[in-house]
Structure 1
Amino acid sequence: MSARVLVVGDVMTDIIVRPEGPIVPGSDRRAEIRNRPGGSGANQAVWLGAAGADVLFAARVGAAERSMYENYFRGLGVVPALAGDKDLPSGVLVTILDPGGERSFLTDRGANLNLSPQDLPEDLLDGVGLVLISGYSFFAPGPRHAVQILLEAARSRGVAIAIDPASTGFLAEVGPQVFRDWVGKADWLFANQGEAELLTGEADFEMQMQMLGEQFTHVVIKRGRFGAALGGRDGMSQSRPAPIVDVVDTTGAGDAFAAGFVAAMLRGQTHAACLEAGIAEGARAVQAVGGQPQ
């Protein structure tokens, strides 16, 4: 497998709100509010760059911010392939953190909604061994069409495909079978526990692996503080625990895990070592505010 990975997904500005207590309707509540670069695809790309991977990132941003974002990604070891949108600004995500580190989101995807086939030309796949697609790209008609064309080109070239479902909220909205039909066959699935249950309708962990393995050759289920497991149509083949760490913010932890796993895989490491690398990056991510490496 070529060592280059192509990531396709959203670019967002994350506005992270940490209230001092419960929000008071119609009144004030003191809060810590911070801006951070984010977006599932962008997070994955930056974590991959931090892990030393050769990573190309394709996305759409507001035209006014395009040069800024290109410089930002280059500075973090990511090769940007960004389209500029003249009509919509770059996306914004408001994250509200509760005292336990759990998150609620308010999302304006902005320019991400206009991702088009012209933004994802087939030559992006030149020299690429794996294409990693954020599930957010499937939840709007334009980006979905663009990504599906790219995935067909990847299949015809024999380029491995990895999918991260990205959002239980959007999955529930469109329906799991619809999402699976949109995605088609792929080599890798990186799902968290909630996504795996939604996609299969099964609470049993082993059944989730087997059912998802009918569509995805390799299934990785991220289990948060319980670590992660790898399997396929024959069920779980191995799992690894997670270290005990102080959780500050879980934003981007799944993106960090996927990046750590993929970077290790592109280095030719065993699947067990890839699991451990993913878990290590996920644990690193939850110890700081924001979805990208500090």
Structure 2
Amino acid sequence: MSGKVLVVGDVMTDVIVVPEGPIVKGSDRRATVRSRPGGSGANQAVWLGAMGADVVFAARVGHADKAMYENYFRGLGVVPVLAGDREQPSGVLVTIVDPDGERSFLTDRGANLNLSPDDLPSSRLDDIGMVMVSGYSFFAPGPRAAVQALFAAARARGIAVAVDPASVGFLVEVGVAQFLDWTAGADWIFANESEAEALTGAVGYEAQTRALGERFGTVLIKRGRLGAALGGREGVRVLLPAPSVTVLDSTGAGDAFAAGFIAAHLAGDDEATALARGIAAGAKAVQSIGGQPS
């Protein structure tokens, strides 16, 4: 199996707002405001690059930003294959970080919504060992058609496919049954406990793992401060804790976890070692502002 991974997902400009206290409706609140590249797919690709993985990243950005983003990703060890959109600007995500590290989002996906099958030809799978797709790509018709066609081509070639549901809010909006149908045949799923509960109706990582294992070959449940679980229809095979760290910003922690696990898996590590590397990457991510390695 090739050790190269193709990541498909959103490119966003993350505007991160950290207020000094609760927002005062209709008035002012001092805050730290920072802008930096982000997006779930972009985060995963950059974390993979930081871990030395051989990673290709496919996405759509505003035409005016294409060269800038290509240079940015190349500088971080990622091979970009970006389409430039002349109608929509690059996506923007405003993240408001509460004092306890919890996040709220305001999203304008922009050019990401125009990702099309032409942006993901089957030739994109040449020399690829795994495809990782952010759930955001399933929440709009154009990107969904593109990644479903890519999934079919990957399965025909025997290439493993992984998905990350990405957003409880969008899962509920499009419908759980629909999402499960759209992702049918994927080999891996990376879900946090809230996403797993929405997808299964089950409470607790053990029941969620079994339920998701009926549809996906390998299930990873991200449990935040409590660590992570890995298993399948037979239940949990590996359960590991997370280290105790100070949480500054949880943006991108799940993306870092997925990248850490995938990098280890493609390098030949066993499940327990790969899960530990994923947890370590997630723990590192929460200790700095933003969704990409600092």
TM-score of the two chains, using structure 2 as the length reference = 0.99
Deviations 1:7-40 (A, max 9, x none): 0000001000011112112211111100121000
Cα distance, 1:266 vs. partner?
A: 0.6
2 CA distance for matches of 1:288 and 1:20? 17
Q: Which ranges of structure 2 fall in alignment gaps of 5 or more residues?
A: none
Question: Counterparts of 1:77-226 in structure 2 under 5 Å?
Answer: 77-226=77-226
Say whether residues 1:51 and 2:51 are aligned partners: yes
SS across alignment from 1:145: helix
The residue type paired with residue 22 of structure 1 is P
The residue type paired with residue 53 of structure 1 is A
Question: Counterparts of 1:272-287 in structure 2 under 5 Å?
Answer: 272-287=272-287
Cα root mean square deviation, aligned: 0.6
Question: Counterparts of 1:198-277 in structure 2 under 5 Å?
Answer: 198-277=198-277
**Does the 8 A contact of 2:205 with 2:221 survive in 1?**
no
Cα distance, 1:204 vs. partner?
A: 3.3
Cα distance, 1:105 vs. partner?
A: 0.2
Say whether residues 1:289 and 2:293 are aligned partners: no
Deviations 1:130-182 (A, max 9, x none): 00000000000000001000000000000000000000110111121110001
SS across alignment from 2:217: strand
SS across alignment from 1:79: strand
Q: Which ranges of structure 1 fall in alignment gaps of 5 or more residues?
A: none
2 CA distance for matches of 1:31 and 1:226? 29
1 CA distance for matches of 2:208 and 2:250? 23
- Tell me which residue corresponds to 1:11: 11
2 CA distance for matches of 1:221 and 1:205? 7
Cα distance, 1:80 vs. partner?
A: 0.2
SS across alignment from 1:100: coil
Runs of 4+ displaced beyond 3 Å: none
SS across alignment from 1:186: coil
TM-score of the two chains, using structure 1 as the length reference = 0.99
Paired residues, number = 294
- Tell me which residue corresponds to 2:60: 60
1 CA distance for matches of 2:114 and 2:238? 40
1 CA distance for matches of 2:220 and 2:204? 15
2 CA distance for matches of 1:161 and 1:22? 41
1 CA distance for matches of 2:174 and 2:114? 19
Cα distance, 1:113 vs. partner?
A: 0.2
SS across alignment from 1:70: helix
Cα distance, 1:205 vs. partner?
A: 2.4
1 CA distance for matches of 2:288 and 2:149? 37
1 CA distance for matches of 2:249 and 2:175? 28
SS across alignment from 1:43: helix
SS across alignment from 1:132: strand
